Amino acid sequence: MYVFENGETVICSCTVKNGSTLTDPDTSMKITITDPDGTAAVDSKDMTKDSTGTYHYDYTVTKSGIYTVLYVAVNGTKTSKTKEHFRIRSAT
Q: With beta carbons less than 8 A apart as the criterion, state whether 33 and 39 touch.
A: no
- The whole-angstrom separation of Cα 23 and Cα 41 is 28
- Which CATH superfamily, name and number, covers 2-89? Immunoglobulins (2.60.40.10)
Look up residue 47 and give its DSSP letter.
P
- The whole-angstrom separation of Cα 45 and Cα 22 is 21
**What residues does each domain of the chain span?**
2-89
Provide the pLDDT for residue 37: 95
Q: What angle do CA 46, 47, 50 make, to 5 degrees?
A: 145
Share of the chain above pLDDT 90, in %: 78
- The whole-angstrom separation of Cα 13 and Cα 70 is 11
Q: Which residues of the chain have pLDDT under 70?
A: 91-92
pTM of the model: 0.91
